[in-house]
Structure 1
Amino acid sequence: MASRGCINSPDMFCYVCGLFTDKSHRKTLMPLMKKAYELYFDSKVDSGKSWAPQFICLTCSCNLRGWIRKAKKNNHMSFGVPMIWREPTNHTTDCYFCMTKVSGFTFKTRSSLNYPDVSSVSKPVAHDPVTCPVPEPPAENTVDEEQQQETGVSSVSDSDSDYQPEEEIHLINSAELCDLVRDLALTKGQAELLGSRLKEFHLLAPGTATATFRDRHKDLVQYFDMSDSICFCKDVDGLMSSLRVDHSVEEWRLFIDSSKTSLKAVLLHNGNTYASIPVGYSAHMKEPYENMSLLLQKIRYQEYNWSICGDLKVVAILTGLQSGYTKYCCFICEWDSRDKVHHYMKKSWVIRNKMKPGCKNIAHEPLVHRDKILMPPLHIKLGLMKNFVKRLDNDSAAFHHLRDKFPELSEAKVKEGAVSDEHGERFHQDISVMESRYQGRWSAAMLADYCWTLHRDVPDAQYRRTSMAKRFKPTSST
């Protein structure tokens, strides 16, 4: 066997049936599964081999579990001889994993894959009433406790069928209830309904209030104000302190962008460790120079002087450049957009020394110093890809591959390199739920309500299944 790895990882396939299995449908070979496998196929699991899968697919797991537990449904496998794995001799003609093309297939369409016939595997053999009948399940299906401990697997499971209530019930206190509401992203009404049901089921600790969620934004709304069609944060330091976060200007950057529905200004933590903090929002404004100037004035940018990131259009407005397809469209150098002869030949262009209005497409006084501008790598990559697509031949295999990958886009849009990164930016994803919840009734309460969902009352709590939402950790002084 060659020393290099396979094109497809062996763990992308089921150990029992050999079919392609994506990550969301894989199950670990638990002791119960190994015992069921041994009893059903009269063969032991040969685990620990690098050239064999170490996981089982959801279908085989349910069938083996149902068989050993004598369930009414999914109570046997569709084959009597499982997939037999052997070490392949090479990756070219004898590797089951390298020769299976799984690109574009899912768990539902895996049966239509073309699985190769190679000597390193023996494919499953279907049941036969005479030669290979369905075996009878054992009378007992318990797993040896010592074996369970040796594998290092906890007896606690997320499976519904394995759940057994503990004798001592944990009562949820106010802080834990608030964190649960944040993790579930519940509205105020949904939060009160959840608290009421938990209280009815006697699962809340004494003194836990459930009617306070309707005013959950009250403590944070004092840091926001609204004027000139802009909802903005008037005290960034106070908001950060209330969220129990140290506000160091060097650790945060200001992100400005507009979507189809709103203009947003957000503080992003360098490294994206913490959640995004909104400092400006308007549902009726776009990105002209006057609006940008008004927004920076409202959030007192000159006082904090954060670094700024955004798309190239926002960068051009902030640096006072003339909009549209201009000759000198770069705020760093005097790159000539109309000198197409030297675009891919000339590497060094003259650096801009002056940002004076009326000079080389400078239309306004710059709103921020250009040293504070962070170049947007995402938009640069998208621009390069857009130009690449524009140069493709309409009859080429690469162009038809893009058409197949994006069937809902017309040929004209594919040719124009139509790519949207709006939902790829973090805050557009974070605030989208809150925008749909308020639907035009945007106010200081909306931003305060969003900020309430960011911090945690019990940040060090450990749960079996954790939320993937961004959160804040308390500072060392708290």
Structure 2
Amino acid sequence: MCFLCLWDSRDEANHYDTTKWPMRTDYIVGRYNVKCKSLIDPSKVYLPPLHIKLGLIKQFVKAMYFNGDGFLHIKEKFGAILSDAKLRAGIFVGPQIRDSMRDPVFPSKLNSIESEAWNAVVQIVQNFLGNYRAENYSELVDNLLESYRKMGCRMSLKLHFLQSHLDFFPSNLGDVSDEQGERFHQDISVMKSLYRGRFNPNMKGDYCWFLQRETDTEHARKSKCIKHF
């Protein structure tokens, strides 16, 4: 569910046709998937550009033809660092996305429908989710949604924000750095490799200690005071 409106993620038949959903008027715990009381005012929530980019790429890759030249090119490019399951799920980080956008060969490997959607993604990243907002950004978003619809992409929550809550994005979207977000994704990918992709509740604790060791604060073990009688 969306925290701004009553968007139904399971109503896939009307996702692309319905752009206006009933707005949320209250946040009562137990109603409309509200699990706990909000810590901040929902109107002050910031939608980070990095996560929007990750969501767009994820839906794009998942809708690609896995035996096509485009997906095989991605597999050849990132297959050494990403598993086949992650490639098919479209799980990428910021540097890999930028590398793909700078790749002159990748667009030529796509079919006509994939190429149209990829060009729309590049336009959104460069002219809306970055440091520059084009005057026709609303038209660019419409082109993206239409190309994703032709490609058969599912309407994710990130796409829903672009479709129904475009005015919620601040005008100075590019003034906020994604450095911390990208660093988290890169660091947590290292932790996942250490745990060989298996879930372990200790991973979160190890990641916190990993961050603490990188600070300038010196930590020393206190010696136990042993008294002898």
Give the alignment's TM-score, normalised by structure 1. Answer: 0.22
Give the alignment's TM-score, normalised by structure 2. Answer: 0.43
Whose strand proportion is higher, 1 or 2? Answer: 1
User: Higher Cα Rg: structure 1 or 2?
Assistant: 1
